[in-house]
Structure 1
Amino acid sequence: MSAPPLLVHLGQPEHGVDRCARAIGAAAAALDGRATLVEASADALGAARLHLHFTDRLWGPDPDAAAAAVERFARRARVSVTLHDLPQPSDGAASMARRAAAYRRVVEAAEVVVCSSEHERRLLDALLPSSRVVDVIPLPAAAPDLTPAPEPLRELAVLGFFYPGKGHAEAVEAAAAFHPPLAVTAIGRPSPGHEAELEALRAHAASRGVALAATGFLDDAALLERARRAAVPLVAHRHVSASGSLNDWLAAGRRAVVVENDYFAEMAALRPGTMTLVPVEGLRGAVEAALEDPGSTWLGPDARTEPHLAQTAAAYLERWSRW
């Protein structure tokens, strides 16, 4: 079996994709002592083969610069890449075109391409129709915390970075329908450049009688602890390509209310019974049902949340063994 490639991350501990790269890389190294996780640097350029986790928003100040960064690695080494945050129409026409061009360049530079869902693979096929094989390795979830639930806060909570379209606006509207309105908590901080939009939504929420708060960045342990205190965990971003936030809810032992789309339907089939899928027009009713039956927002001891981190790392090692 051939040795794994050098596993590269960018040393940005607050970015979800880089957290994913570090977690999978460390798990792969634990399973195969030949696997090595390194921060991107000149040292990484000496490797014969590299694996990167790519989203344009992580690898450069704009899509073109991000693609160029990967191409620099590919000129010196054979590259395997996991694509995240694939371009889609909800990006807006101009942004999607710029991002799609960058992703095409990354795919062309790489020898192995991995997506985290069949939904993402379909998005990629639409961007870059080709006969090349694209592997699907789902994002891992941690084994759930099944300890007794703490006393809940009367709130809807959305977990992960704040940015427009993530579901915070839908949470505010659902919360405003109650008397008195529910609070809404953004567990996390704004994505860079979206701070003003958070403040605008906070003002809009206040006009609807809803208190919107954001926790700021939380490390893994603090994030999971905070996620366990929400009365209703909510996942309402409808234009997602893959979601680490959903997996964080699972790790906290929560069965979230999730607005339907193709990706979440795929995840509900992968991990049956771990989420409550609802159409967006049914969101208010689903929140009310969750408040009336708090136990419905918690995973039971028979919950199946695999693949877990070691299983995902093993799937990567198996794929690299065939490279």
Structure 2
Amino acid sequence: MPVDTPPLCLVWGPAGHGVTDYGSDVAAAAHRLDPAVRAAAVTDLSAALRAVAPGEPVHLHATDRLLGASLEEAADAVETLSRACRLTLTLHDLPQPSDGTKYDRRVAAYRRFFAAADAVAVNSEHERLLVSEHLGDDLRPEVIPLGTRLARAPEPGLADAPDRPGASADLIVLIAGFVYPGKGHEPALRAATAAVNALRASGRPVGEAVVRALGAASPGHEGDVATLQRLAADLGGRFEITGFLDDAEFARRLREPGIPVAAHEHVSASRSMLDWIEAGRRPLVVRSRYSDEMDGLRPGTTVLFDPAELTDRLAEAWEDPASTRLAPGHPLRPDLADVAGSYLNWWRGMSR
């Protein structure tokens, strides 16, 4: 096989999983730049082993939950696959102390991922630092940022509902993706109801405080929805959840009136921030090392806030809903083509 042959891109997992879908997107973008790039969709280790030829270069976007029923099984799978091919990895969801009781096991598993692979990439400088801080400062992953599907913010579509400042409009907070602890729904509820109270006290004709989850409860967290609904009622607001949305409906709902918020308490790298800006939205994003990095990478696409500022930021966004939307044509790069080019250069560099 020629030394400059790009790797087979394994797309491991069910369609709809963020890491699986992103791996598929990157593989397709790389194929558009270099038709020699191939992709194979697999669901488990047996299928992966059948897809690869002995000793060929293979790349996989991976997170432990996709690869096995346990952390140890996931590490076993990566080690087994690496013995059958020349494996490179992009690792998602890096270990950090917020993993709680699983932290030590996740650290051990991800160290095994590094040891098994020929080379590893991560999706942010923040994640490179997580590797150094928690897996070993001798490890040197490549940094290739997440890419957008669009190079520029889109023009508003005919289906986009206009925002309505004032006129007794509800203060609606939109949070994209699964409902689970630490996603930010509870602080958003508290801040939204506080913002409504402050607006009413200043004489503004605001309606109710509503936090709307655009997605379903994460498996095992269905009870959290009822907890959030009770909290909303106690605070004088409302918590709504759409349930599962297909891709087209999800994209449509991202554009609906409301204030987009990304307030993950423990973020490694976030596809949901890209979902918002690809929909032409400018979300409020909780300040962190990662969001600071993304703000520098794509200036003007987000509004960063410290947790104590969320009430004020929501009140400001209710009064100026245009501030939650990007101007058409606002740059969103690096996009998937940029990212695919970075992967192709990285793979070629390893083959020389």
Using the TM superposition, give the Cα deviation of residue 27 of structure 1 relative to its aligned residue in structure 2, in angstroms: 1.1
Instruction: Output the CA distance in 2 between the equivalents of 1:283 and 1:315.
Output: 36
Q: CA deviation digits over 1:163-213, x for unaligned, max 9?
A: 111111111111221145411111112222222223322222222222212
Q: Which residue of 1 aligns with 2:201?
A: none
Q: Measure the CA separation in 2 of the matches of 1:216 and 1:264.
A: 27
- Choose which of 14, 17, 22 in structure 2 pairs with 1:15: 17
Q: Relative to structure 1, is the Cα distance of residues 132 and 259 closer, same or farther in structure 2, using a 3 angstrom cutoff? A: closer
Partner of 2:166: none
Amino acid at match of 1:20: Y
3-state DSSP of counterpart to 1:138? coil
Identity %: 42
Distance 1:191 1:60 in 2: 18
SS, match of residue 274 in structure 1: coil
3-state DSSP class of the match of 2:93?
coil
* Alignment-mate amino acid for residue 174 of structure 1: A
Greater Cα shift, 97-106 or 10-19: 10-19
1:158 is the counterpart of 2:175: yes
CA drift of 1:129 comes to 1.7
Which residues of structure 2 form unaligned runs of 5+?
164-168, 198-206
Q: Which residue of 1 aligns with 2:51?
A: 44
- 2:184 maps to a residue whose letter is G
- Uncovered stretches (5+) of structure 1, i.e. residues with no partner: none
Amino acid at match of 1:150: A
Q: Which residue of 2 aligns with 1:75?
A: 83
Task: Look up the equivalent residue of 1:56 and give its one-letter code.
Answer: D
2:203 corresponding residue in structure 1:
none
Q: Which residue of 2 aligns with 1:187?
A: 214
Please report the TM-score for the alignment, with normalisation by the length of structure 2.
0.87
Once the two structures are superposed, residues 14-40 of structure 1 have per-residue CA deviations (whole angstroms, 9 ceiling, x without a partner) of 211111111111111121111111112
User: 1:103-133, CA deviations, whole angstroms, 9 ceiling, x for partnerless residues?
Assistant: 1111111111101000001001112224343
Name which of structure 1's ranges 107-116 and 201-210 shifts more when overlaid on structure 2: 201-210
Deviating 4+ runs (over 6 angstroms):
none
User: What residue number does 1:240 align with?
Assistant: 267
Change in Cα spacing, 1:145 to 1:222, as seen in structure 2 (3 Å) is farther
The answer to whether the Cα contact below 8 Å between 1:49 and 1:78 also exists between their aligned partners in 2 is: yes
Q: Distance in 1 between matches of 2:80 and 2:226?
A: 38
Aligned-partner Cα distance in 1 for 2:178–2:37: 30
**1:214-225 pair list within 5 angstroms:** 214-225=241-252
Moved more, 201-210 or 56-65: 201-210
Equivalent position of 1:128 in the other structure: 135
Separation (CA, whole Å) in 1 of partners of 2:38 and 2:183:
34
Aligned counterpart in structure 2 of residue 29 of structure 1, from 28, 31, 36: 31
Distance 1:230 1:164, change over 3 A: farther
Letter in 2 for 1:31: L
Letter in 2 for 1:167: G
CA separation in 2, counterparts of 1:62 and 1:267?
31
Of 149, 162, 170, which residue of structure 1 is paired with 2:187?
Answer: 170
Match among 100, 105, 121 for residue 98 of structure 1: 105
Give the Cα separation in 2 of the matches to 1:205 and 1:56.
Answer: 34
For residue 317 of structure 2, the aligned residue among 286, 290, 313 is 290
The residue number in structure 2 matching 1:59 is 67
Matching of residue 280 in structure 1 with residue 307 in structure 2: yes
CA distance in 1, matches of 2:219, 2:79: 25
Which has the larger Rg?
2
Residue number among 134, 142, 151 corresponding to 2:149 in the alignment: 142
8 Å contact 2:8–2:59 — kept in the other structure? yes
User: Displacement of 1:139 after TM fit?
Assistant: 0.5
d(CA) in 2 for partners of 1:35 and 1:26? 8
Aligned match of 2:232: 205
Q: Secondary structure at the match of 1:171?
A: helix
Amino acid at match of 2:161: P
In 1, distance between residues paired with 2:70 and 2:236? 38
Asked whether the equivalents of residues 175 and 181 of structure 1 are also in contact (C-alpha less than 8 Å), the reply is no
Farther off after superposition, 60-69 or 174-183? 174-183
Secondary structure, aligned partner of 2:259: strand
* Worse-superposed segment, 237-246 or 300-309: 300-309
Checking the alignment, whether the CA contact within 8 Å between 1:163 and 1:194 is kept in structure 2 is yes
Contact kept? 1:235, 1:246, Cα under 8 Å: yes
Alpha-carbon distance, 1:67 to partner = 1.5
Bigger drift between 307-316 and 216-225 goes to 216-225
CA distance in structure 2 between the aligned counterparts of 1:212 and 1:169, rounded to whole angstroms: 10
Q: Supply the RMSD in Å over aligned alpha carbons.
A: 1.7
Contact 1:142/1:251 (<8 A) preserved = yes
